[in-house]
Amino acid sequence: MARAFLVVMDSVGIGGAPDASSFYNGDLPDLGANTLAHIAQACAAGRAETGRTGPLHVPNMDRLGLGAAMRLASAVPFPGLDSAPQGRWGCAAEISRGKDTPSGHWELAGVPVPWDWHFFPDTQPAFPPELSNYVAEQAGTQGILGDRHAPGTAIIDALGGEHMRSGWPICYTSADSVFQIAAHEETFGLDRLLDLCRAIAPRLHAMKVGRVIARPFVGNPQDGFNRTPNRRDFAILPPSPVLNNWVQEAGGTVHAIGKIGDIFSMQGIDTLDKGPDAQLMQHLSDRVQNAEDGSLTFANFVEFDSLYGHRRDIAGYARALEWFDTQLGSILPRLRDGDILVLTADHGNDPSWPGTDHTREQVPVLVSGRGAGPLGQVAFADIAASIAAHLGVAAQGPGRSFL
Ligand SMILES: O=P(O)(O)O[C@H]1O[C@H](CO)[C@@H](O)[C@H]1O
Ligand SMILES: [Mn+2]
Ligand SMILES: [Mn+2]
């Protein structure tokens, strides 16, 4: 019997998106952004030497076909990563009009986003007054703080003290279709923050804002503020059944690891394991050991994006890739006959690029368990169709199996 493992390396793009010039970081289009190639260039040039050294070393992914996929996706040159591929390899371009996590994951799961997301303008205020008033009313405060585009770590540094004094929630957004609320876990209260986000989510979803995100933090103005792992995303539901649902409908079990639970609002998911990426890797390893025949294990590793991409930390991103590759090296040999592991990404987040937002890019598609050879340029939705075909499950989206 077959099993499938779909592993998303959040934001590990490989450039070359055909529509990159219509996506922006501030005023600058994403044309030319290339997360992996620019990291590989920086490593080779000795510009990523913090906590690691030398050329980017990801031999396990490269043996699956990573370097070959990068060369297929774009003409951006980079050194190394030139192993002869032993897996199936290709690249994929997204069609949904969003370079965010839900758009990417829904489309990977077979369902491109059929609507235009609502994005808040990069102005101050960013939110319409009726919305700000509604959020304050739900929070039981006289107003909100923030009301602008911002990186989440910078805005708590700037407004954390005022938030503690006034009790007003810090509301901010980004180039993603998101409404984020940062609040102090102790002075505002974690449960109160989660209740607030849950309460306002239906109104934001009705506006086609993809997610309301709770961003709890701790600390004080003297010693500084830190976000905690208690982030929660309240996401709009996918418009139609996705890969997880297809597998469940056919009687298979679906194991989610990491943000997958939030991204799909727990639809079509039997089990969920969360935690930092190091723990998620252990969960993935455990699923390779114990997942049932006919099951899908769907994992997201978010720290490439959240800890390094948005923070424009090239060396940190390279360290995370090298750690991930080493771990993958101990997982791949444990796959059984009949297993397939698909390694891909949901969008880019080039740490060498101006701004702090995601970058529109193609993603790698690397397949272990179904021989070797090129897949070419495929669609995100083809990944879901291929996994469905591998599991013998009926696919419902526009994707076509490449297997
Ligand atoms: O800067 P932080 O708060 O991490 O925000 C990032 O995380 C959010 C959701 O992925 C996006 O808005 C992105 O900008
Ligand atoms: Mn993402
Ligand atoms: Mn992100």
ipTM over 0.85: yes
Structure tokens at 70: 């990068």
The whole-angstrom separation of Cα 328 and Cα 323 is: 9
Nearest Cα neighbor of 309 from 6, 8, 13, 7 is 13
E strand segments, 83-165: 88-93, 145-149
Entry pTM: 0.93
Ligand 3 centroid–CA 304 distance in Å is: 9
CA neighbor of 172 nearest in space, from 356, 361, 360, 359: 356
pLDDT digits (tens, 9 = 90+) for 29-65: 999 999 999 999 999 999 999 999 999 999 999 999 9
The answer to whether the CB of 257 falls within 8 A of the CB of 273 is: yes
Q: Is the CB of 101 under 6 A from ligand 1?
A: yes
pLDDT confidence of residue 397? 86
**Known binder of ligand: residue 305?**
yes
Instruction: Kindly tell me the burial class for residue 364, based on how many C-beta atoms sit within 10 Å of its own C-beta (0-12, 13-18, 19 or more).
Output: buried
- The percent of residues above 70 in pLDDT, for the chain, comes to 100
Query: Ligand 1: does its nearest atom lie under 6 Å from the Cβ of 347?
Result: no
3-state secondary structure of 170: strand
What's the rounded mean pLDDT across residues 67-80?
96
User: What confidence category does residue 254 fall into, taking pLDDT thresholds of 50, 70 and 90?
Assistant: very high
Cβ of 296 less than 6 Å from ligand 1: no
The arithmetic mean of pLDDT across residues 335-353, rounded, is 98
Question: What pLDDT sits at residue 1?
Answer: 81
Q: How many CA atoms lie within 13 A of 85 on its CB side?
A: 24
CA distances from 56 to 38, 78, 206 (A): 11, 10, 44
Provide mean pLDDT across the span 193-218: 98
Dist. CA 393 → ligand 2 center (Å): 26
Q: What does the chain come to in residues?
A: 403
C-alpha count within 13 angstroms, C-beta hemisphere, residue 121 = 6
- The mean pLDDT of 119-146, rounded to a whole number, is 98
The Cβ of residue 154 has, within 10 Å, a number of other Cβ atoms equal to 11
Closest by Cα among 168, 170, 210, 164 to 186: 164
For helices 35-44 and 66-73, angle between their N-to-C axes, nearest 10 degrees: 110
